[in-house]
Chains A and B, each alone.
Chain A
Amino acid sequence: MSGFINTLLQGVMLGGLYALFAAGLALIFGIMRLVNLAHGDLIVLAAFVLLVTTQSLGLGPFLATLLAMPLLFAFGYALQHLLLNRTLGRDIMPPLLVTFGLSIIIQNGLLEVFSADSQRLSAGVIETDSIRLGAGIAVGTVQLFTLASAVGVIFGLKLLFYRTEVGRAFRATSDDPEIAQLMGIDNRHVFSLAMAVAMVVIGVSALYLGMRANFDPTIGPARLLYAFEAVIIGGLGSFWGTLAGGIIIGVAQTVGGSINPEWQILTGHLAFLAVLVLRPRGLFPRAGD
């Protein structure tokens, strides 16, 4: 029994990681209807940025993430301002093609610089630490941090969206970009800010991606897939929904993997398909979509 509870807990914690992946994707899609096919690769890119920061400055991964955040924010703003804003319009193909190309460029650029070797962000003792919840049930500290960070990030995004003037501009632009302009909102600036915020979320995702397991330049697209599944399960446009979606995939993967390690990825996708069949618009669809 405690074995099964442990497995479930592991799945919930893993779900936190997928929710982090999904939150950045949902943020971008929600505001500018941009499907960012390079999202997974941007997470891997950020993980390498953190790797370089930890190694060159001799810092722990948490401090390195804090330090990299302004850099990631600026990078996100510039990426949207200089490149992605030019692709947005009535046609949905240009952004898809450009972010697909960006995904390939990031992967090959990282391969060129860092080779295909597996890397890891080493966090010292907390990597192996765990917290005992009694009766043979324990959770890893990093795992717990992952879930807590996911909840924190989603809570923070909610505050940003619903309690600030910028958040109001985000929602207005998402609702009706044409009328938003008539309010004095510069849509392009709003989009760039959104991508900048998304890059910060990507930085947090990268921290846990790198601390929990090995990563190499080619693993981005699979992370994109999990993020997509979590967003769609949650229902487009709901931040708490992405957390639920992430947890459903995480639990399905962990439970599947505990039965047979080969089933891990498969059961995650099956859970996604099952939700699509039962609730095609996701668990928490936004009214009017």
Chain B
Amino acid sequence: MALLETRRLTAFYGDFQALYGIDLELHEGETLAIIGANGAGKSTFLRSITGLLPAPLRSIVFSGHPIGGLSPAEIVRLGISLVPEGRRLFPSLSVEENLKIGAYGLRAPGYWSLDRIYQLFPALLERRAAPSQTLSGGEQQMAAIGRALMSNPRILLCDEISLGLAPIIIRRIYASLPMIKAQGASIILVEQDIVQALQVADRVYCFQEGRMSLTGRPADLDREKIHTAYFGA
């Protein structure tokens, strides 16, 4: 049984349809990459899963239970956590408070705690008392990932975590993913920059204009196929 499954998932912004029936499966322990151009519906897909956009109940199934349309607060308590695009740290909270609030809905403690987040990203420990807006882009991204981990999610959704960061910082952030995986989280990465994503992903889905245009294992996909699926023929 898949850990997370979407069945003909659709999404709308008012009259505008952003997703046209997405079928996707995430298995326990897997890392998926969702790639696609700007406006392909990648972020919309994550917003639907987290409950920020309404979805029909049975179109999203988590661990056997339909969760479509539940509130975001309920969904994060079930174990799905989002690292939002653009980090979106709380500006009036310090770094440590941003991390602590990630555990707001937590019922039972799990592997990830403040100390473990600081072990994962030592740079945050030095800046723990600093206002979150004074951090560098890379540090902000680490804090956003840490905040999402604090709820000890079974699924970590990462929206464009490499956006706007220097290559060396991107590599450092991607280097944390195996440790996150090792603690039992399954991961969905949404990226426009496909190079990093393809290196860590077990499987890839490519979105194009709200539809799935390609899926497979990175090894089975050649550049031309991806190019076509990414930009259209």
Within 8 A of B (CB), among A243-289: 286-288
Contact B90 A171 (CB under 8 A): yes
B104 at interface by CB-CB < 8 Å: yes
Contact A181 B90 (CB under 8 A): no
Contact B93 A171 (CB under 8 A): yes
A112 at interface by CB-CB < 8 Å: no
Contact B101 A186 (CB under 8 A): no
Q: Considering the chains assembled together, what is the distance between the CA atoms of A179 and B143 in angstroms?
A: 14
Contact A184 B52 (CB under 8 A): no
A129 at interface by CB-CB < 8 Å: no
CB neighbours of B110 from chain A (8 A): none
Interface size class of B (residues with CB under 8 A): 20 to 34
B77: nearest chain-A partner, CB-CB: A184
Contact A183 B84 (CB under 8 A): no
B76 at interface by CB-CB < 8 Å: yes
CB distance from A193 to the nearest CB of B (A): 14
Contact with A along B88-107 (1 / 0, CB 8 A): 10111100010011101110
A117 at interface by CB-CB < 8 Å: no
CB distance from B43 to the nearest CB of A (A): 13
A186: nearest chain-B partner, CB-CB: B73
Contact B106 A184 (CB under 8 A): yes
Interface size class of A (residues with CB under 8 A): 20 to 34
The DSSP consensus for interface residues of chain A is: helix
CB distance from A199 to the nearest CB of B (A): 24
Within 8 A of A (CB), among B62-85: 71-73, 76-77, 81-82, 84
| A172-B50 contact in complex given A179-B88, A179-B90, A184-B106, C-beta closer than 8 Å | no
| A175-B50 contact in complex given A182-B76, A183-B101, C-beta closer than 8 Å | no
Q: Considering the chains assembled together, what is the distance between the CA atoms of A183 and B148 in angstroms?
A: 8
Contact B52 A168 (CB under 8 A): no
Contact B100 A176 (CB under 8 A): no
Contact B71 A186 (CB under 8 A): yes
B6 at interface by CB-CB < 8 Å: no
CB distance from A238 to the nearest CB of B (A): 11
B151 at interface by CB-CB < 8 Å: yes
| A174-B92 contact in complex given A169-B101, A181-B73, C-beta closer than 8 Å | yes
Contact with B along A158-187 (1 / 0, CB 8 A): 000000010011011011101111111110
Contact B76 A175 (CB under 8 A): no
**29 A-B contact pairs sorted by A residue (CB < 8 Å):** A165-B104, A168-B93, A168-B97, A168-B104, A171-B92, A171-B93, A172-B90, A172-B101, A175-B90, A175-B93, A179-B84, A179-B90, A180-B90, A181-B52, A182-B76, A182-B81, A182-B82, A182-B84, A183-B73, A183-B105, A183-B151, A184-B73, A184-B76, A184-B77, A184-B105, A184-B106, A186-B71, A186-B73, A288-B91
Additional A-B contacts beyond A172-B101, A183-B151 (8; CB < 8 A) = A165-B104, A168-B93, A175-B92, A176-B90, A182-B50, A183-B104, A286-B92, A288-B133
Q: Give the A-binding residues of B (Cβ under 8 A).
A: 50-52, 71-73, 76-77, 81-82, 84, 88, 90-93, 97, 100-102, 104-106, 133, 147, 151
